[in-house]
Structure 1
Amino acid sequence: MEEIKTLNASALRNWLEIGQPVSVLDIRPITERAEWYIPNSIHFNAYEKLKNNDFEAFSGLHLDKSVPVVTYCGGGKMSLVAAKMLQMHGYNTYSLEGGLKAWSLAWNTATINFSNFEVIQFRRTGKGCLSYMVIANKEAMVVDASLDTNVYEQYLSANDAVLKFVIETHTHADHLSRSKELAEKNNAALFLPPNNNLRFKYQAIENDTVFKLGNISVSAISTTGHTLESMSFNIDNKVLLTGDTLFTNGVGRPDLKADTEGMKVKAKLLYQSLQKLLSLNNEIIVLPAHTSQPIAFDKLLIHSTLEKVKSIPLLQLNEEDFIETIIGRIPATPANYLAIVEKNLQGDFSDINPIDLEAGANRCAIS
């Protein structure tokens, strides 16, 4: 029998990016599938039967045998068993190396163009993190860098653009920040919301900070609540980067690193920050820093308009009801968030494997 073939996350990402025919098969229990999955993958819960070496584990599964099958599980071990069994049934199979844990670094993009600038949305489909590159007149800014710096540099080169600024909306708790490294490698200015616990040099973003990029302006707006230093950015009155303050279908959570009383204070601040954003132009396009669903390789921008966002039920509430409702809907705490925050405050994670800390579902939003 042939040796079981494996495929790494980067190779599968490339296949999906170019539209190569492939059947991606999720063999995990449905409870795990509900947390996170690879977009457009097929779910067939064979996990327990595979554990028991049941040769009938895939009874009832009918896939096109002319198309490669990539099996995946959480960590890449049981998918090897699945691939072996499917191979015995005549399928051309691969097992995804590292499973969904390794897939957390996979990404794709979407772009929105204006007359004098463009915004590229970098989407970590395996994690839900959204970062952005704004390009105006060959000058670029990257916001909330969460991917390997080579990814951004590839797009800088393709657009013949010089990286001028690297900025963030807040200190992130669900992914390691690549902003410091990206700025250093490209001799760009690193601007961050002020945080006394940051242990490296940066320039502070204030409520009235304005970045000049090409022939446009990017204005900072203090939007405390999700974190005490949270910022949003108004790009030329056409685009609003809202970080984890406002999503397309919800708002940020105010509970991380806060006791019950602190949570109430942050929820009140969040309400006030949201009112500030909601007073802006209805037609402005809202681009958040996260999404709670896996992101397909469809090049469709994850966005909304401020007018549409106003219909979110939470945003219809008065301050008192908003605070009470938010606190009553706090989702499960993100895995490893304290360790991730600590690494981001240090500005150095050369001694760890990012996948070990970052794997897991996105839990930033409350809707």
Structure 2
Amino acid sequence: MSTERLRELLERGTPVTVLDVRPAVERAEWSIPGSVHADAYDALRRGDSTALADFHPTNGDRVVTVCAAGKTSKLAAERLRARGLDAVSLEGGMRAWSLAWNTAEVPCPGSTARIVQLRRTGKGCLSYLIGSNGDAAVVDASLEPRIYHRVAEEHGWRIRTVLETHVHADHLSRARALAGDTGARLCLPTTDRVSFEYAPLKDGDIVRVRSAGLRALHTPGHTPESVCYLLDEHALFTGDTLFLAAVGRPDLEASAEQARHRARALHRSLQRLVALPPDTLVLPAHTSEPVVFDGRPISATLGEVQERTSLLRETEEAFVSQILTRLPPTPPNHHRIVALNEAGSLPDDPTELEAGANRCAVA
């Protein structure tokens, strides 16, 4: 079964049991929402006849088996079919699933714009389509351009502007490709990191989406160029600077000394953000959990984020010390991903580079 077919089934709520047969340590990194787990990888690989003998579907009769790349899951499906079950394997496994997506409408009282959150359900990347009076802007495009076209057309919008909050390290940016496909203006925070043409944005600049406005707030720390975009003073697109219960990491593509300097800058940036009204809606570029197909936006008010995130209440010295000792492992392939994003290039097959969970947050 293809990723797109499984995505459609989950989006419609069609009964299907997704059986993950990877080792537990791999599943802990990332998984398909609602899937069940059987740690049968080793048993299947060695041809153990008892592998999955006790498994029974939990959500309807159809079973879709999944592994890392779609090979061992074929063995699992064959074993289940031999027992008379309706079982198929997910083509390409979790690597292919990294491109699966779903959407949620984001209510934003006080703004003339409508917001659609587009979520890469396996990888946790969050991007946004903002529409107003027929025009639209995209923030932090991480999906194929055709998907933004499709969702914009469903709402009667035309994409006029494509914005990035920073040069990403955990996924390949589709911003330049989307701007090229649509003829939209490509906007990035002012930086000398990239080698392609773009419209530079500095602190305080406003990007119009018809009657709505996105104000750029320079928030260095996660990267030197990072910005957040404040929509009509009500919704804040925070990129990787601030998450719903964590903050951005300051160490990627940085020496130890640079990471400490950036951690100090990040503290100042976060203090600027928490000074905004507490009912400001926070819309980050990532989430750490698989995104379920429930149509509910991943968001919180700034006040809620402050309550959840103890690092926001620390002094600068304590913040720097704590964030540098809590750093998670670096994102897989981040050096190669950053190089491609700085060049504005995309490989023919991004699934190998992008496999795995994102690791840009520090809680």
Q: TM-score, normalised by structure 2?
A: 0.97
- Where does residue 131 of structure 1 map in the other structure? 127
- Where does residue 284 of structure 1 map in the other structure? 280
**Aligned counterparts, 1:106-185, within 5 A:** 106-114=100-108, 116-185=112-181
- Where does residue 250 of structure 2 map in the other structure? 254
State the alpha-carbon separation in 2 of the partners of residues 65 and 250 from structure 1. 34
Deviation at 1:330, TM superposition (A): 0.6
Against the structure 1 CA distance between its residues 222 and 81, is the aligned structure 2 distance closer, same or farther, given a 3 Å change threshold?
A: same
State the alpha-carbon separation in 1 of the partners of residues 57 and 337 from structure 2. 40
| Maintained 8 Å contact 1:209/1:219 | yes
- Where does residue 33 of structure 2 map in the other structure? 39
| Maintained 8 Å contact 1:117/1:134 | yes
State the alpha-carbon separation in 1 of the partners of residues 267 and 358 from structure 2. 22
Deviation at 1:155, TM superposition (A): 1.3
The letter of the residue matching 1:49 is: A
The letter of the residue matching 2:302 is: L
Q: How many residues align?
A: 360
State the alpha-carbon separation in 1 of the partners of residues 357 and 58 from structure 2. 30
The answer to which of 280-289 and 208-217 deviates more is: 208-217
State the alpha-carbon separation in 2 of the partners of residues 263 and 10 from structure 1. 40
For the residue of structure 2 that corresponds to 1:56, the secondary structure is: coil
State the alpha-carbon separation in 2 of the partners of residues 260 and 36 from structure 1. 29
**Aligned counterparts, 1:4-83, within 5 A:** 7-63=1-57, 67-83=61-77
- Where does residue 305 of structure 1 map in the other structure? 301
> Which of the numbers 311, 316, 325 marks the counterpart of 1:328?
325
Deviation at 1:81, TM superposition (A): 0.5
Q: Output the aligned Cα RMSD.
A: 1.2
Deviation at 1:63, TM superposition (A): 2.0
State the alpha-carbon separation in 2 of the partners of residues 35 and 161 from structure 1. 36
State the alpha-carbon separation in 2 of the partners of residues 244 and 66 from structure 1. 38
2:239 maps to 1:243: yes
- Where does residue 93 of structure 1 map in the other structure? 87
State the alpha-carbon separation in 2 of the partners of residues 79 and 127 from structure 1. 20
State the alpha-carbon separation in 2 of the partners of residues 297 and 22 from structure 1. 13
Flag as ranges the 4+ runs of structure 1 deviating above 6 A: none
The letter of the residue matching 1:333 is: T
Per-residue CA deviation, residues 175-201 of structure 1 (Å, 9 max, x unaligned), is 111111111211111111122131111
Deviation at 1:324, TM superposition (A): 0.1
- Where does residue 221 of structure 2 map in the other structure? 225
| Maintained 8 Å contact 1:65/1:91 | no
State the alpha-carbon separation in 2 of the partners of residues 195 and 341 from structure 1. 14
State the alpha-carbon separation in 2 of the partners of residues 264 and 113 from structure 1. 37
For the residue of structure 1 that corresponds to 2:15, the secondary structure is: coil
| Maintained 8 Å contact 1:221/1:232 | yes
State the alpha-carbon separation in 2 of the partners of residues 360 and 47 from structure 1. 18
User: Which 5+ residue runs of structure 1 have no aligned equivalent?
Assistant: 1-6
| Maintained 8 Å contact 2:108/2:235 | no
The answer to which of 52-61 and 171-180 deviates more is: 52-61
For the residue of structure 2 that corresponds to 1:310, the secondary structure is: helix
| Maintained 8 Å contact 2:15/2:60 | no
2:175 maps to 1:188: no
The letter of the residue matching 1:87 is: R
The letter of the residue matching 1:330 is: L
Per-residue CA deviation, residues 237-278 of structure 1 (Å, 9 max, x unaligned), is 110000000000100000001111111000000000000000
For the residue of structure 2 that corresponds to 1:272, the secondary structure is: helix
| Maintained 8 Å contact 2:206/2:215 | yes
The letter of the residue matching 2:336 is: A
- Where does residue 104 of structure 1 map in the other structure? 98
Q: Percent identity?
A: 44
Deviation at 1:50, TM superposition (A): 0.8
**Aligned counterparts, 1:339-358, within 5 A:** 339-349=336-346, 351-358=347-354
State the alpha-carbon separation in 2 of the partners of residues 358 and 120 from structure 1. 23
The letter of the residue matching 1:220 is: A
User: Which 5+ residue runs of structure 2 have no aligned equivalent?
Assistant: none
State the alpha-carbon separation in 1 of the partners of residues 220 and 150 from structure 2. 33
Deviation at 1:290, TM superposition (A): 0.4
For the residue of structure 1 that corresponds to 2:137, the secondary structure is: strand
Q: TM-score, normalised by structure 1?
A: 0.96
Deviation at 1:64, TM superposition (A): 5.7
